[in-house]
Structure formats: structure tokens, C-alpha cells
Amino acid sequence: MTPNKLTVAVLGAGTMGAGIALVAARARHRTILRDLDDAAVQRGLDTVESFLRRSASLGKLSQEQVDAALANLSGTTDLQDVAPADVVIEAVFEDLELKRSLFGELDDVVSQDTLFHTNTSTLSITSIAAGSRHPERVVGTHYCNPPQLMKLVEVAEGRHTASQATKRSLEFLAGVGKTTVITKDRPGFILNRFLIPWENNCMRALEAGLGTVESIDRAVLGALRHPMGPFQLLDVVGLDVHKAVSMRLYEQLREPRFAPPPLVDRMIAAGDLGRKTGHGFYTYESTKSFGA
């Protein structure tokens, strides 16, 4: 498998899927974005195009680069359309049975040489790979959010992942401009094992009156040199997503630090999910969360 001009299929056209598709198309791979209905596919394609055009307006990409990326990008609702894929990147909802069944369906669609990547951040790679007749080709590739801006990807092998599949995956990721870290097939891998309890503790500090949203974010930005404060990041990720990830880790690890604080449930009940709803810890004029 060469690092250039591959066919890459991304399954799931939500925030993560659209971001991953953008990464692949920007690297000049033929990229197919697939979801279950036309509206979801179109939203994903529109999000990618909006980001690319904004990047060009800011001088971060040339018009030629934008045109090339858009020319390489297409959308579909038909799983058969991903048949030519060299790499399939699954970015659907974090549901084990859904991911397993999807890889089982893909076995009958793509070549036996096709790499299967799962973008899970909380589920076992071994368990997901069990849905495929060829678990040796399934590799965990957890893209940091948002994938079009963040360089890091966590790579995890399942129990039966072949070393050659990992090698090819690392080559592919390097070819799309990613930095990789190898991690074990454990709940939360490296990043969410650290990040989720930290975000929960920041919210607990807010509830305890140790600071305001703004002052806690400023403290983290100024002293820890994070690119985003914890509440800025939570607004990008979405409080609903944060709760889902937190609860999956809590259910597997049974450690109280992974359980989200009551503030999360109150914000979800109020519809204050973050950027995607226009209001979370901050208020936003636009509900787009892609940035540029």
C-alpha cells in the first residue's frame, strides 16, 4: 500500500467522521463519506467544504489545495460504494454491537486486503474486531478532536491484529500528516484515561465555587499552556458526548472519578450542549464547531 492516492472510506458523517474525511481528502486521497441518509451525508460534505473554504480565506490553504480536496471527496448512503476502499475508517456512534455488525457487513463488500480502522475512544478493539471474519486487519485509530486541526492519533492493536496491519496503518497516518502514539487495548487508551477525570474535576471545581468558567479556563491556558481551556474544550466536544464517554469508562472501570458530575445532566436537560446548540459554558453566534 503506497502512501499516496488511496481510496479511503469514512463511515459516519458526523463531527468526527467529517473531520477525518477532510484529513484524507486534504492529503489527496480519494475519499468516500458514507452515512445512512442523504441529509446526514450532505451535512458532512457541507461541513468539510465550509472548513476548506474558510482555511483558504485565512491563507492556510491555497485555492488549488481546496479544489483538489473537494474533487477527491464524495458522499454516499450505499455501503456497496465503499467496495474499492484501501482503508475503511469507522466513525459511527460508540455502540459495540453497531460497530461489530458494520465490520461484519464490510467483510462481504471490500477486499481482504482492506484495512479496517475504528475511531473508538472507549470500546475494546478486540471486541469490535470480533465482528469481522478477519480480525487481524482491524486497528484502533483514535483521532483527537477535532481531527482536521489536531495532529495526534492513538493507535491500538486488538488481540488478533496483525503486525503488518499496524505497520500499514502507521504509514497511512504519517501520510495524512498525523503523529501517532501506540497504546494498549484498554478503556480510554491514554488520552481519555487522563482527560475525562480532569474535565470532570474542572466541573466539580466550578460547582464548588473555586472559580468561574472564564477564570478556570484562563488559569489552564496561562499556566498549563493547553491550547484550549477545559470548558472551551467541553463545548467543542459536546456535553452529551462527554457524558456518554464518561459513563462508558465508569461502567468498565468503576472508578468515581470517571462519573460525570450533576452539572452535566443539568446542562444536557437544558439543551446547553456546547457549540452545536449555540450555548454551553459559553454562547456562540454560529453552531459550527469545526474552526479553521
Same domain? For 157 and 226 the reply is no
What CATH number does the domain containing 233 carry? 1.10.1040.10
To the query of whether residue 142 is one of the catalytic residues in this protein, the response is yes
The residue assigned the cell 461541513 is 47
> Could you report the per-residue pLDDT of 199-230, keeping only the tens digit for each?
999 999 999 999 999 999 999 999 999 989 99
Active site residue 201: no
**Whose CA is closest to 185, among 212, 157, 205, 214?**
157
Judgement on whether residues 199 and 172 belong to the same structural domain of the protein:
no
CA 273 and chain centroid, separation:
17
Residue 145, domain member (yes or no): yes
Q: Is the dihedral of CA 278, 246, 100, 141 positive or negative?
A: positive
| Model confidence pLDDT, tens digit, residues 65-82 | 999 999 999 999 999 999
Residue at which a domain ends, from 183, 206, 240: 183
Catalytic residue among 72, 119, 132, 142: 142
Instruction: Point out the catalytic residue in the list 55, 72, 119, 121.
Output: 121
* Residue 38 Cα to chain centre, angstroms: 21
Clarify whether 226 is annotated catalytic. Answer: no
> Using 50, 70 and 90 to split pLDDT, how confident is the model at 145?
confident
Domain count, the chain: 2
Give burial (CB, 10 Å; 0-12/13-18/19+) of 53. middle
Same domain as 169, residue 30: yes
- The 10s digit of each residue's pLDDT in 150-162 is 999 999 999 999 9
Q: What is the rounded CA–CA span in Å between residue 226 and residue 218?
A: 10
Active-site residue, from 72, 90, 119, 154:
154
Is 292 within a domain?
no
Find the Cα–Cα–Cα–Cα dihedral 135, 167, 169, 198, rounded to 10°: 90
Co-location of 155 and 230 in the same domain: no
First to last CA, the chain: 31
Confidence tier at 292 by pLDDT (50, 70, 90):
low
Question: Distance (Å, rounded) from C-alpha 31 to C-alpha 218?
Answer: 39
